Chain A
């Protein structure tokens, strides 16, 4: 199992450009999440999905969009990049069933994005 994979690892964007951060998991997990992590700060939830075709906003969704057409993939779209979106982005997934104890999130390696 590759687990959760993210591409690219690093990216520099100019203000106003757009890009898609890719996230794929091979664990057949229903739940997937996108977080951003700013220096010295905790993880903040951008969007999440409880299954294919279902997405919902998290704490900081402005400036981002997501889609979930398959169980495996959960891409994050930045339409008009702004310097405030400079951050490290993590994708995560978790299984379903097994009650609350089955809530371990598996994280990807992250994408470091800089907007200049």
Chain B
């Protein structure tokens, strides 16, 4: 069964600090992986997509990495802001279908 595991489950950091969220997957065949941000009370919104051939991609203060050999991805947030407080969800599509596999998410709280 395809699985997406995220760690940590929750994280509390001070404003201005950096943090890294992890995602391990066993989805096969693999073609790409997305990170979504879900603010409290809202639906998830895509942050970035990582394809099989990409190692690193930045989107402002967010940097995603992908190691397809070890089946791991990370999302690094630099100089955190209060608005970064949210749940971050790793999603990997099942290569042969329209059904993505969702991780449980990492809940990030940024304190002033």
Contact = CB atoms under 8 A, between A and B. Distances in A.
A104 B31 contact: no
Contacts of A90: 43-44
Interface residues of B, number: 23
Given A90-B43, A105-B46, A109-B41, 8 more contacts: A42-B105, A43-B44, A43-B89, A45-B99, A101-B49, A103-B49, A103-B100, A104-B34
Contacts of A50: 98
Interface string B39-75: 0011111100101000000000000000000000000
22 contacts: A40-B9, A41-B104, A42-B103, A42-B105, A43-B102, A48-B98, A58-B99, A90-B44, A92-B43, A100-B32, A100-B95, A101-B51, A103-B100, A104-B49, A105-B44, A105-B91, A107-B43, A107-B44, A108-B43, A109-B41, A110-B42, A110-B43
A106 to B, nearest CB: 8
Contacts, number: 51
B43 A42 contact: no
Contacts of A105: 44, 46, 91, 100
A105 B101 CA distance: 12
A31 interface: yes
Contacts of A101: 32, 49, 51
Contacts of A31: 98
A45 B102 CA distance: 9
A94 B49 CA distance: 14
A90 to B, nearest CB: 5
Interface in A66-94: 90, 92, 94
B7 to A, nearest CB: 13
Interface string B6-48: 0001000000000000000000000110100000011111100
